[in-house]
């Protein structure tokens, strides 16, 4: 179980670290084949640019939408309600949440190390090249 109270201490969604966004995104997840967080994380090695070019903004947007669905604000006035809701949601699906968070943290670490390395150049995967060719038609 995550200590959501500690995680959200001083929380500002616009400046939140990526690991905090991941925890919130996974915890607030709902079954949706279009926004499959697990598949998104599995795709990161093939599309590492997505992590900072789209996923961070998508996760922020998703978190905001889900907080509205649950009628919870992200401000400090609603913090206790948000913590309680996150704890309840996490508890309901703890094995899945832990599995996806582990995967996510591993993938984020991997992609971040690659992108910050001066000795590694990211090559375009055959899968990505095929998609880019289709898009250019």
- Enumerate the domain spans of the chain: 4-136
How confident is residue 119, by pLDDT bands cut at 50, 70 and 90?
A: confident
DSSP letter (8 states) at residue 75: S
Checking if the pLDDT of 116 tops 80, the result is no
Nearest to 35 by CA among 75, 9, 66, 12: 66
Output the pTM of the full model.
0.82
Q: What angle do CA 41, 25, 127 make, to 5 degrees?
A: 20
pLDDT computed for residue 104 by the predictor:
95
DSSP letter at 33 equals S
């Amino acid at each position: 179980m995550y200590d959501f109270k500690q995680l959200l201490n001083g929380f500002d969604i616009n400046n939140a670290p990526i690991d905090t966004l991941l925890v919130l995104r996974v915890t607030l997840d709902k079954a949706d084949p279009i926004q499959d967080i697990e598949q998104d994380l599995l795709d990161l090695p093939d599309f590492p640019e997505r992590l900072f070019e789209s996923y961070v903004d998508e996760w922020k947007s998703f978190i905001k939408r889900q907080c509205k669905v649950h009628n919870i604000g992200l401000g400090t006035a609603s913090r206790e309600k948000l913590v309680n809701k996150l704890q309840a949601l996490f508890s309901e699906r703890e094995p899945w949440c832990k599995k996806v968070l582990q995967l996510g943290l591993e993938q984020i670490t991997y992609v971040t190390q690659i992108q910050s390395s001066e000795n590694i150049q990211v090559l375009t995967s055959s899968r990505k090249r095929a998609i880019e060719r289709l898009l250019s038609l």
